Amino acid sequence: MEGAACTTPRRNPARHCLGRVWRSAVLLLPMLLAAAIATSGCDRSEVRFPLRTPQGRQPNVLLISIDTLRPDHLGAYGYGTPTSPIIDRLSASGVRVATCVASAPETAPAMASLLTGMYQYRTRVVANRGTLQAYVSTIAERLQESGYTTAGFIGNTLLGADRGFDQGFEHFEAFRHKNPLAPSDDRGVTLAAAWIAAAPATPWFVWIHLIDPHGPYISAKPSWSDGFTYPADAFGADTPIPPGVGNFGLGIVPKYQQFLGEPARPSDFVRRYDGEIRFADAQLERLLGAIDPADTMVVLTADHGESLTEHDEYFQHGWFLYDTTLTVPLLLSWPGVLPSDTVLERQVSAVDVAPTIYEIVGVAPEAEDATPVDGKSFARALFRPDTPMSGTAFAVGPRENHPFAVRAGRWKLIHTPAGRPAVPTKNYPMHGFDTPERFELYDTIADPGETTNLADRHPERVAELKTALGGFRTKLRMSGRNW
Ligand SMILES: [Zn+2]
């Protein structure tokens, strides 16, 4: 049978004791298992969708996106510093997707793809200045059409109503503090938890977007990182990084992160970044305490990651398409119905999240006569976590000459077209010089840091991935943009 009683080939390394919320789910286990048997049958191959609550209803869906959250800085993904006890507990109660790839290393295009299941050539949101068009269908719209009550609590103004991200929400509010440097995730969680407690009807869909891990890393008090220790060699020489004259550039601390005084070392920034994660994580305890786990599927992810020291890019995102800024955490938890304490090794794209939610709750992936989605549901793979790593994910850089990336299996190809550089070097202005076309091939398993370009050594692999990337670029060009 499927559900919590399923055996799982690989256990989550960050297993923790079940908390109050999940303990209550365990007490409900016999009832939940009966429901799972009724809906799913007793054979792994016979799991039937949609999945239903013990009362046979569609589940509530709580989508949590956390801005600028690197998966490898969470205990659930193997991080040694205790940044995320609440997220780790959520992971232990559900399925952790090992590799989820954002469509862009920047907020608006990445969230547009996640909320629609579409890449940029359909959403038309290519950079933060973009607006989500009315003709695309979002998770909120599709679930609302299916009878869901919907509410959004958004901590980033780039995802506001004026940018079209309120589509499908009956209740939608931004909770950014008037002072953008002050913490706001506590306020957002308070609003969302209060709405859930008094939800006008069920099932409901709630999207909450937390912001505090985004730089500058001063939302949380330094005390949130008290007691954090790091291996002696975690930061190499830990040489102080010089300040830059603007917000962008390689080898420098961008202006908006210059809050520590100078000189500041990478370890100083990473400790503060980890404290921001711990603060956001702590807020989630109240949010998860407000839901009924038997009736609610929780999906936790991020818009993009953050480059902390890698590739000479310090405490920024939005430039390169390396995994530091492109991979995001992805957890799905519904105790008693979805498998628990399980790792799905398969690679997915953020565009696959919406179709997966649709299949689980029983909503058609697209409205009639609507723009089709790019993503594919991986709902069935949740019950087969030993599914071989597969799937192809694409990404587009939001800056100037738009670098492209394709990640297929263990291989990743990044294509930086000739022209203006994707990133200004040191303090040189962006428009000062051109760079030649460049291809980078990485083996993401043998070289997760993407430090050794294998393009010359594997021309056949480059050719294969170039073909895939070429098809993707053709679609982008057909969308009318000058790519
Ligand atoms: Zn963001």
Ligand 1 center–CA 467 separation, angstroms: 30
pLDDT tens for each residue of 78-125 = 999 999 999 999 999 999 999 999 999 999 999 999 999 999 999 999
In a domain, 48, yes or no: no
B/e letters for 329-338, b = 16+ CB within 10 Å, e = fewer, are bbbbbbbbbb
Cα-trace Rg, the chain: 22
Ligand 1 center–CA 409 separation, angstroms: 26
Ligand 1 center–CA 304 separation, angstroms: 6
What pLDDT does residue 3 have?
A: 33
Ligand 1 center–CA 398 separation, angstroms: 12
Do 106 and 169 have their domain in common? yes
In a domain, 392, yes or no: no
Query: The CATH number of the domain where 411 resides is what?
Result: 3.30.1120.10
What pLDDT does residue 424 have?
A: 59
Ligand 1 center–CA 256 separation, angstroms: 15
pLDDT tens for each residue of 423-474 = 655 544 455 556 788 899 999 999 999 999 999 999 999 999 999 999 998 8
In a domain, 67, yes or no: yes
pLDDT tens for each residue of 365-391 = 776 667 789 999 999 999 987 776 668
Ligand 1 center–CA 214 separation, angstroms: 7
Residues 213, 262 contacting (CB under 8 angstroms):
no
What pLDDT does residue 372 have?
A: 84
In a domain, 120, yes or no: yes
What pLDDT does residue 155 have?
A: 93
- Residues with CB under 5 Å of ion ligand 1 are 67, 107, 303
Do 413 and 380 have their domain in common? no
Do 355 and 420 have their domain in common? no
Ligand 1 center–CA 44 separation, angstroms: 37
Q: Is the pLDDT of residue 168 over 60?
A: yes
In a domain, 51, yes or no: no
Residue finishing a domain among 338, 362, 387: 387
Ligand 1 center–CA 366 separation, angstroms: 26
Residue 446 is part of which domain span?
A: 399-478
Ligand 1 center–CA 483 separation, angstroms: 23
Query: The CATH number of the domain where 119 resides is what?
Result: 3.40.720.10
Q: Is the pLDDT of residue 152 over 90?
A: yes
Ligand 1 center–CA 101 separation, angstroms: 14
Ligand 1 center–CA 161 separation, angstroms: 16
In a domain, 15, yes or no: no
Ligand 1 center–CA 303 separation, angstroms: 5
Taking each helix axis from N to C end, the angle separating 107-116 and 353-361, rounded to the nearest 10 degrees, works out to 30
Distance of CA 308 to the CA centre of its chain: 17
Residue finishing a domain among 387, 408, 427: 387
Cα 263 to Cα 244: distance, rounded to the nearest angstrom:
12
Ligand 1 center–CA 405 separation, angstroms: 19
pLDDT tens for each residue of 104-116 = 999 999 999 999 9
Ligand 1 center–CA 123 separation, angstroms: 17
Distances (CA, A) of 349 to 287, 316, 408: 26, 22, 10
Distances (CA, A) of 255 to 60, 181, 188, 261: 42, 14, 27, 11
Q: What angle do CA 16, 17, 20 make, to 5 degrees?
A: 125
Q: Report which of residues 182 and 151 the model is more confident about.
A: 151
Do 257 and 167 have their domain in common? yes
Residues 463, 286 contacting (CB under 8 angstroms):
no
Do 81 and 118 have their domain in common? yes
Do 30 and 66 have their domain in common? yes
**Domain count of the chain?**
2
Residue finishing a domain among 387, 408, 438: 387
- 343 forms beta bridges with 96
Token readout for 430 is: 């962006």
Omega before 459 within 30 of 0, i.e. cis: no
pLDDT tens for each residue of 189-215 = 999 999 999 998 999 999 999 999 999
Residue 441 per-residue DSSP state? E
Ligand 1 center–CA 93 separation, angstroms: 26
Ligand 1 center–CA 106 separation, angstroms: 5
* Closest by CA position to 326, among listed 397, 224, 232, 258: 397
Ligand 1 center–CA 59 separation, angstroms: 28
Do 110 and 244 have their domain in common? yes
pLDDT tens for each residue of 330-363 = 999 999 999 999 999 889 999 999 999 999 999 9
Cα 458 to Cα 416: distance, rounded to the nearest angstrom:
18
Cα 357 to Cα 435: distance, rounded to the nearest angstrom:
42
Omega before 203 within 30 of 0, i.e. cis: yes
> Who's near 297: CB < 8 A, 6+ residues apart?
59, 60, 61, 62, 332, 333, 334, 337, 338, 357, 360, 361
Where does the pLDDT of residue 33 fall: very low under 50, low under 70, confident under 90, or very high at 90 and above?
very low
Ligand 1 center–CA 35 separation, angstroms: 38
Do 189 and 221 have their domain in common? yes
Ligand 1 center–CA 107 separation, angstroms: 4
In a domain, 449, yes or no: yes
Do 136 and 245 have their domain in common? yes
Do 275 and 204 have their domain in common? yes
Do 353 and 467 have their domain in common? no
Ligand 1 center–CA 68 separation, angstroms: 5
Ligand 1 center–CA 473 separation, angstroms: 24
Ligand 1 center–CA 371 separation, angstroms: 25
Residues 21, 288 contacting (CB under 8 angstroms):
yes
In a domain, 11, yes or no: no
Ligand 1 center–CA 397 separation, angstroms: 13
pTM score of the predicted model = 0.90
Ligand 1 center–CA 326 separation, angstroms: 11
Do 137 and 184 have their domain in common? yes
